[in-house]
Structure 1
Amino acid sequence: MKDGERRAEGNDSIVKEFVLLGFSDLPNFQGFLSGVFSIIYIIILTGNSLIIIITMVDPTLQKPMYFFLANFSFLEIGYVSVTLPRILFSIWTGIRTVSLPVCATQLCFFLILGTNESFLLGVMSYDRYVAICNPLHYPLVMNPKKCIQLAAAAWLSAMPVQTGLTWHIFSLRFCHSNQIDHFFCDIPPILKLACGDTFMYELSVYIVAILCAVVPFWLVLASYSKIISTILRLPSAQGRGKAFSTCSSHLLVVVLFYGSASITYFRPKSTYSAGLDKLFSLFYTIFTPMMNPLIYSLRNKEVIMALRTLILK
């Protein structure tokens, strides 16, 4: 049996590669899963690409909100491309082994892009806060230079933190089973395979998660508490409906992303369940990126009109 396919025994036998079990426990559904994941990937690429294109070519969408939406759509394409192609490759070829460096690279990019998404959701909530609570100052506050600076901060700030966390996790010795009961290299199933006490590593994961997820989430909550308070004071029902329609799409994406991710990363290692972890991971790695174009386009008249114009052209 190959070294990458065996179960390591004792501390002297160190794992050199992992086996991503993925959905191998469903042998009769491999064809079905291949079709479903292929369709989802095409929907994600097509939907998010269309949003990027229309925000670039349609003059009516040359606004800060749509600038950030285009950034978010581009981020979603990268985010899902870290995991879905590998899932499809494993299903099509049956090759499930992955070396430690490749596994570390996948985890690093996944964490960086996931953190970028968290920060960008916070930036988008700030944009909506300024637009609704301080509309007269909105053009001045959210000027093109400020928008680029906020987007750049959201994109770049995660790199050193998550690169350091990935190096920290993969400095561990893995001497138990080399089988990762997941469809990609994620922190909870990797820590489960580590030798010895991993308390300090779990603590570092919690600290990074607080900085990269909880802080932006509180920014979102603070922004929307002000936004809702302002909307409720609007004199006309039409004005309130328009404001709620503008914000509800973003708020729905926030709930989907933070809800499923927090359950995964704030759950103690002792309560880890492979089945539940896969389910929640599917939500924030695949389901949310697929729903985002639908959520933002179906609930936004300007986006619908821009899509209609693009299709007619």
Structure 2
Amino acid sequence: MSLGAVLIVPILNWTKITESMLLKAMLLKAMLLKAMLLKAMLLKTMLLKAVLLKTMLLKTMLLKTMKLYFLGKAQKNSVRVNLTDFSKSEQQIDFFKTMLNILLIFLCVFFLINLYFVMAIILYLEQHLYCIQIALLNNFQMEIRQQVWVLCIMMALFYLFGGWDAYGNELNKAAKYELSTDKWYKICPLNEVLSRVSCIAGNYGIAFVGYESSKLYLYHHKQDIYNEIYLKFAANTNKVLLQAENRVLLIESGKNIYESESNQLTNWKIIGAAQISFGRGVAYKVYFNQSCYFMDNNDKLYKFDMKSLQLTMNQL
């Protein structure tokens, strides 16, 4: 199971996409899913109530029918009702009563179990929606204050790598935000200062690259350590990591296109050249219709075709 969260937003008119439209699309998707679950729970509740009501009516009808049957049988055989036969009839009626009560209890337990699972799904969805809202809020605030993006959501944790401080100095710090405590925590610092970072997440952990570095970093959240992979990047170039289906690609602005040859992102090869350059602050990466879309800080929308390996740009 992949640790990274991927959101696919099926918007057709990509030339008019803005930051607010992307955020609204993600929130709308979560809210629609929540509404569908609430509707399903309501329908299931109404159905189970109808089944319980019909069962209780059936119980009443059966009891009346059995009483009439045994009394009629006793009157048919003899004018005087034998007390022993009558007591046996009462025992049979009590037995049927017990069985019907057991059936009702079973249906009630079944109803409560189903209701519990539906409520658990709704609570999980609400938490996921809250995670998205927190991520978007932090994304906006960090971009304004530190020129850093919220890079990755993994198991309800948000990770940040590098950036600038209030004085414009580049940082080698890293941190994570935890929803349960609503606090930031420091994690293992980087070996070098990084800014304009791009990242992806998966079973390998978090992979990210920076503007200044010629290395690809793999962060393992359980061990809190980094693995470094040297790819001989040109110094001071913008880079973007893209992940689609089972492919992982890395694009150097105006230079080479790399693709990983392994699931652990340890071996890479050059598969083409990027025809155009893109600005810093690459974000809002979306995979749709066999193409990857992303934006930079210059309000430009880029489309990378995964088949033809062509990178094109649209000005918003």
Same fold flag (TM > 0.5): no
TM-score range, shorter chain: under 0.3
TM-score (norm 2): 0.21
Of Structure 1 and Structure 2, the greater strand share is in 2
| TM, length-normalised to structure 1 | 0.21
